[in-house]
């Protein structure tokens, strides 16, 4: 599948590859809006991935969910822009992770 990558670059990439290389995608997204939140996204994701106990992850998951919602509703989103596509792909994964943690924290033990 051909995926636009950056402003004028197109590469062949599979969804499985993208899922396994989200750190690389994050580092290659060129967007002033994304860059304002990039450090927070990385910090929250690192914290969440580094802890096994769900109760320790919940507050960070709520914050990650808040940030992903902000960025996924970006008014400058352009489906033809590879940076926007990669941003949405990565943030959709982060949002899904945050949602699963929040949902799991609300399950009875």
The pLDDT value recorded for residue 41 is: 92
> What are the residue boundaries of the structural domains of the chain, listed by start?
2-105
Nearest 5°: CA angle at 65, between 58 and 67?
A: 125
Q: Which residue has the tokens 């997204």?
A: 29
Q: What are phi and psi of 29, to 5 degrees?
A: -75, 120
CA distances to 31, 70, 83 from 18, in Å = 19, 22, 13
The pLDDT value recorded for residue 12 is: 43
Q: Which residues in the chain show pLDDT less than 70? A: 1-24, 109
- The rounded distance, in Å, linking the Cα atoms of 109 and 105 is 9
The pLDDT value recorded for residue 8 is: 47
How many helices (H) and strands (E) are present in the chain, helices listed first?
Answer: 5, 2
């Amino acid at each position: 599948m051909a995926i636009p990558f950056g402003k004028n670059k197109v590469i062949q990439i599979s969804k499985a590859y993208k899922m396994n290389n989200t750190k690389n995608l994050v580092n290659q997204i060129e967007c002033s809006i994304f860059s304002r939140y990039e450090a927070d996204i990385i910090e929250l994701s690192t914290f969440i991935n580094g802890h096994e106990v769900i109760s320790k992850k919940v507050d960070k998951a709520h914050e990650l969910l808040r940030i992903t919602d902000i960025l996924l509703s970006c008014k400058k989103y352009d489906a033809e822009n590879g940076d926007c596509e990669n941003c949405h792909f990565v943030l959709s994964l982060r949002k899904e992770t945050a949602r699963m943690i929040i949902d799991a924290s609300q399950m009875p033990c």
